[in-house]
Chains A and B, each alone.
Chain A
Amino acid sequence: GAVVSQHPSWVICKSGTSVKIECRSLDFQATTMFWYRQFPKQSLMLMATSNEGSKATYEQGVEKDKFLINHASLTLSTLTVTSAHPEDSSFYICSAAGSGNNEQFFGPGTRLTVL
């Protein structure tokens, strides 16, 4: 159990376009989802926390207008990178936590490359 999927697994886009990444909890209700960014050979950097039906809480330094997060249901959260630029190229990982929220389950990640 506790499976989290992400789609797409990789995406290449042109500078200035927007990219949407989906994160789904397949077999449990995710009251909270987290979005991370990971640069090569670095740790995970938490970008934002989203609770179903509420606005996401962004970490300091993360532009909420650039990284739009929607958590419309208990099984789906989306991250939209708006007007992407090459510096947004990274590995984006989501995770999901259930109502107890004492453990998170990670998706497989999405590799974004902006040309």
Chain B
Amino acid sequence: AQSVTQPDIHITVSEGASLELRCNYSYGATPYLFWYVQSPGQGLQLLLKYFSGDTLVQGIKGFEAEFKRSQSSFNLRKPSVHWSDAAEYFCAAGIGTNAGKSTFGDGTTLTVKP
């Protein structure tokens, strides 16, 4: 079965520290991959996406993610976290032309310490 796993339920980092959020997928073929951010009571905002090509993807707000086929991973990174980055982060995956129907991970809650 297709699945997306975010192993870390909750991560706390200090402001200015680097961040890495993990995401692993299990699909028969390489899916399209997405990272979204959700602030409390809000919808989802797309941070970045991977469809093909360069495995290091740049997104908004200084985020980047690296697709590693051998590890079935698509980890999200940011070199220096800001307090405003505190939110819920979701990794998602979809297949081909129906990638709009994506499978979501359970999410990782990011807390930023001053």
A residues within 8 Å of B by Cβ? 4, 6, 32, 34, 41-44, 46, 49, 91, 93, 95, 97, 100-109, 111
Residue B102 interfacial (CB < 8 Å): yes
Pairwise interchain contact B100-A44, C-beta atoms closer than 8 A: no
Pairwise interchain contact A106-B44, C-beta atoms closer than 8 A: yes
Pairwise interchain contact A103-B99, C-beta atoms closer than 8 A: yes
CA distance A111 to B40 in the complex (A): 11
User: Which of chain B's residues have a CB closer than 8 A to the CB of A93?
Assistant: 43-44
Instruction: Return the chain A residue nearest B107 by Cβ.
Output: A43
**CB within 8 Å for A44 and B43 given contacts A101-B97, A101-B98, A102-B51:** no
Per the 8 Å Cβ criterion, residues 27-41 of B in contact with A are 32, 34, 36, 41
Cβ 8 A contact of A43, one of B34, B46, B98, B105: B105
Pairwise interchain contact A95-B100, C-beta atoms closer than 8 A: yes
Q: Is the interface of A mostly helix, strand, loop or mixed?
A: strand
**CB within 8 Å for A100 and B97 given contacts A43-B106, A43-B107:** yes
User: Which of chain B's residues have a CB closer than 8 A to the CB of A108?
Assistant: 42-43
CA distance A101 to B97 in the complex (A): 6
User: How many B residues touch A, CB cutoff 8 Å?
Assistant: 25
Per the 8 Å Cβ criterion, residues 81-114 of B in contact with A are 90, 94, 96-102, 104-107, 109
Among B98, B99, B101, residue most surrounded by chain A Cβ atoms (within 10 Å)? B101
CA distance A34 to B101 in the complex (A): 8
Pairwise interchain contact B43-A102, C-beta atoms closer than 8 A: no
Among B42, B43, B101, B104, residue most surrounded by chain A Cβ atoms (within 10 Å)? B43
Smallest CB–CB gap between A61 and chain B, Å? 15
Give 17 CB contacts A-B under 8 Å: A4-B43, A6-B43, A34-B100, A43-B105, A43-B106, A44-B104, A100-B97, A102-B32, A102-B51, A102-B97, A103-B49, A104-B101, A106-B44, A106-B45, A107-B43, A109-B41, A109-B43
